[in-house]
A = this chain, B = another copy of it.
Amino acid sequence: MKSMKISEAVVRRLPIYLRFLNELNRMNVTTVSSQDLGSKLDLNPAQIRKDLAYFGEFGKKGIGYDVKYLIEKIRQILKLDQRIQVALVGAGNLGRALCNYNAYLQDNMKIVAVFDAEKSKIGQNMNNLTVLPMSELTDTIRELQIRIGIITVPASEAQNVADRFVEAGIEAILNFAPVIIKVPPHIRVHHADFTTDLQSLAYYLNKEEEA
């Protein structure tokens, strides 16, 4: 059923499927079973079949999934078959690192504009992009039809940047700042905070290693 609402967990797995399918495709593998996918990605095969079945009948009983066809379908589902322009605010080390990942992103998705509030950063070159002042944010986002915003500024500035993004009409935000940002309900926010990741890892360490 096209119109039932899909859980976030399912959506988060789709890019992982896609990445491995692309790898298989590069290796000229033409067909893959949910079994194969599951063992490679550490997921239950039934879960993979169910995830995909939310969107259509992509497989063939007794055979599995056609790699190229499934890639095409997942790209459509994730809207990666459209051009998706991304803006980044915060031209520090992290921002620079992410800009360099442009190559890793799916062809149509690209960081196309970088902004910073600090005078010293403006005009700098970052992976072929020139760092722009915040005053140009709104116009640039509208002109380039930028739909996703990335925040890599310090925590104290993150909410301000989010507000600017929302005002400029961005539809989704990926926030790397270590703070929860508030946005209107129609805007999607993902938090990608490496400090909380690392701190939760500590929980799983063994008791006290050191004396």
Chain A interface (Cβ < 8 Å from any Cβ of B): 11-12, 14-16, 18-20, 40-42, 77-80, 82-84, 86, 92-94, 96-98, 100-101, 104-106, 109, 145, 147-148, 150, 171-172, 174, 178-180, 182, 188, 190, 192, 194-206, 208-210
**How far apart are the CA atoms of A92 and B201 in the complex, in Å?**
23
Q: How many copies does the complex hold?
A: 2
Closest to A126 in B: B93
Which B residues are in CB contact (< 8 Å) with A172?
Answer: 201-202, 204-205
**How far apart are the CA atoms of A20 and B155 in the complex, in Å?**
12
Q: Which of B12, B41, B84, B197 meets A192, CB within 8 Å?
A: B197
**How far apart are the CA atoms of A188 and B205 in the complex, in Å?**
8
Which B residues are in CB contact (< 8 Å) with A180?
Answer: 16, 20, 40-42
Q: A83 and B210: CB pair below 8 A?
A: yes
29 A–B contact pairs at CB < 8 A?
A11-B203, A11-B204, A14-B199, A15-B196, A15-B199, A15-B200, A19-B195, A20-B180, A40-B180, A41-B180, A42-B182, A77-B203, A78-B202, A80-B199, A84-B202, A92-B97, A93-B93, A93-B96, A96-B97, A98-B194, A101-B195, A104-B178, A171-B204, A171-B209, A172-B204, A174-B197, A190-B197, A190-B200, A190-B201
